[in-house]
Amino acid sequence: MDLRHLIIIGIALAMDALGVTLSIGLNPRVRRDSKIKYIICFGFFQFLFFFLGGVFGYLFERYIVAIPNIIGGIAIGIVGVMMFKEGFDAEEKDDELLLKKGMPIILGISVSIDALVIGFTASHRACICLLMVLNAVMIGLITLLICTTGFFLCRYIRRLEFVTRYADFLGGIILIIFAIKMIFF
C-alpha cells in the first residue's frame, strides 16, 4: 500500500472519530484535559486496531467482517441516546456522561473498530512487520490531527447560542446517526 492510499484510508477511518469529536467539542462543560484524553484515545486505538487487524488479518478475515461494525455502532448509539437524554436535564450535573473516567476509552474503541476491519483486509498483505507498524502509526497520527482540528472548530461553532443551548441534543443525534451508519451501512 503506497502513501497516497494510506492517507486516504487514514482520513476515511478518522471520519467517525471526527463526528464523535465534534459532538463532544460542542459541549461547553468538557474541559481541555478531557479533550486531550479523547484525542489521544482516538488516535491510539486507531493505531492499535489497524495494527492488530494487519497482524491477525489472515486468521480472521472470513469470520469477523460485519460483527465489529455492529458492536461499535451499538456502543456509540447507547452513548448517543444517553447524551440526548441528558439534554432534557435542565440542571448542571457534575457527573456528566462525557466527563466520566472510562468514556474516552469506550468511545476510542468504538470509533476504531472499523480500523480493525480495514487492517484485516488491507494491511495484512504487508509482509514486513515494520511496514505494518509504520502504516498503523500513520493512521493513528491522521486521526489525532483530524480530531484536534475538530476540537478547534468547535470553539467557533459553540459561539452560536443555539448550538450551546442544545449541545447534548446535537451531540446525541450525531452519535445516533453514526451508530445507524455503522450498523446498517
Residues 91-102 pLDDT 10s: 455 446 667 788
CB environment 72-102: b (16+ within 10 A), e (fewer): bbebbbebbeebbebbeeeeeeeebbbeeee
Q: How far apart are CA 108 and CA 31, in angstroms?
A: 17
Instruction: Give the range among 35-39, 77-81, 131-135 with minimum mean pLDDT.
Output: 77-81
pLDDT tens-digit series, residues 135-165: 899 999 999 999 999 999 988 887 877 766 7
Q: Locate cell 493512521: which residue?
A: 139
Highest mean pLDDT among 1-15, 47-61, 112-126: 1-15
pLDDT score for 125: 59
Is the pTM value of this prediction over 0.85? no
DSSP string over 95-144: T-GGGSTTHHHHHHHHHHHHHHHHHHHTGGG---HHHHHHHHHHHHHHHH
